[in-house]
Amino acid sequence: MKILITGGAGFIGSNLVEYFLNKKHEIICLDNLATGYMHNIEVFIPNPKFTFIEGDIRDLETCKTAVQGCDYVLHEAALGSVPRSINDPANTNSVNIDGFLNMLIAARDEGVKRFVYAASSSTYGDSKKLPKVENEIGKPLSPYAITKYVNELYADVFAKTYDMECIGLRYFNVFGKRQDPNGAYAAVIPLWVKNLLNHERPVINGDGTFSRDFTYIENVIQANELAAFTPTETIFLNREKYLSEIEEIQNSKSSIVAEVFNVAFGGNTNLIQLFEALRDNLAKHDKEIGKIQAAFGPNRAGDIPHSQASIFKANTILGYNPKYDAKTGFEKACEWYFQKYK
Ligand SMILES: NC(=O)c1ccc[n+]([C@@H]2O[C@H](COP(=O)([O-])OP(=O)(O)OC[C@H]3O[C@@H](n4cnc5c(N)ncnc54)[C@H](O)[C@@H]3O)[C@@H](O)[C@H]2O)c1
């Protein structure tokens, strides 16, 4: 299969590139290196099945060139980070919405078999319901969350209007190798690992009781593979089963693939537990790290207290069955960061 992976020089994208190249697929990677890096993909360049196109998804022609001959699209390119979107909503909007629309148009015109895209748990917004279930969302709490919700709306309309197959994966706090520890918008895990390796005190925003469903990258890879390759008929059959279980039988006969799925482990770890897990894993290599205590700062704008996914829908329809709990993921990620940055 020939697969276009946008954002393939970024954290999640480069892990997808690596996995699908190992599976002998042909991979086109489109990335403008805004937050991704050549060093994430350098090792793949000599592989004849890998092509890197440096380009911007805000340019429709670039998207069309990249998707030529592709069977599947895994669309990961976006400007991530809630704080970035609060500081610069216009740029987040143009990449995440205009760029997304360009990719949908290019994929539609190319007639790809399926368009799988990175959605986000931020779409749950101010909903207090736990665990998060796909069909019950709240109001967005940031410009970033708006863009990710608009992606879902566009994908839904394209699926219905142009008979495309679109699947959105609502990622919950993904972490693992190659997630960027640098820059103002680094995610909490690589940022704290970097602090600890430098013998600095990580800062917990708030009192440390806020919790997240931290999701190891391998689980995300599994979800992408299932989302891309699960046969359409299987999706229809399993969707009927799923909808009857959640008592929405009236919609179960639709012949459209326009789904969103939570992608998480289904657990919860609060920030103090996270800090302790990272510290204790890194202290196996460097005893001094074991003595570091966290510092505490104010809550961040746009942060919700708790986020935990129900993965029942992805499990029932796609057969998603995450293999790595957060604890195992923290061990693996710490090992990777230690070897890389020691
Ligand atoms: N990491 C998470 O926890 C998480 C959670 C929810 C959703 N997501 C989504 O998953 C996707 C991947 O996130 P990530 O964590 O790997 O982030 P990342 O920043 O490492 O990767 C994003 C990639 O997109 C590229 N990109 C940005 N703007 C572009 C443009 N205009 N044209 C082409 N390429 C562009 C970047 O250079 C980068 O390589 C994003 O869509 C993000 O919103 C991530």
Instruction: Give pLDDT, residue 301.
Output: 77
Series of mean pLDDT values for 10-residue runs along the chain (342 residues): 98 98 98 98 98 98 98 98 95 98 98 98 96 97 97 98 97 98 96 98 96 98 98 96 82 82 98 98 97 95 90 98 98 97 87
Find out whether the beta carbon of 201 lies less than 6 Å from any atom of ligand 1: no
Fill in the DSSP letter of residue 44. Answer: G
255-264: per-residue pLDDT in tens? 899 999 999 9
C-alpha angle 7-9-10 in degrees, rounded to nearest 5? 70
- pTM over cut 0.85: yes
Instruction: Say if residues 2 and 24 touch (Cβ distance below 8 Å).
Output: no
Instruction: Give pLDDT, residue 251.
Output: 56
Instruction: Give pLDDT, residue 19.
Output: 99
Ligand 1 atom with minimal separation from the 148 CA: 43
144 noted as active-site residue: yes
Instruction: Give pLDDT, residue 156.
Output: 97
Q: Which two structure tokens, joined as six digits, stand for 122?
A: 């931020």
Query: If one looks up domain 179-212+268-306+325-341 in CATH, what number appears?
Result: 3.90.25.10
Find out whether the beta carbon of 78 lies less than 6 Å from any atom of ligand 1: yes
Residue 174 phi, psi (nearest 5): -80, 145
Q: How far is the CA of 257 from the centre of ligand 1 (A)?
A: 24
Domain 2-174+214-263 sits in which CATH superfamily?
Answer: NAD(P)-binding Rossmann-like Domain (3.40.50.720)
184-228: per-residue pLDDT in tens? 999 999 999 999 999 999 999 999 999 999 999 999 999 999 999
Domain residue ranges of the chain, discontinuous segments joined by +: 2-174+214-263, 179-212+268-306+325-341
| Sole residue written with tokens 């967005």 | 140
Instruction: Give pLDDT, residue 140.
Output: 96
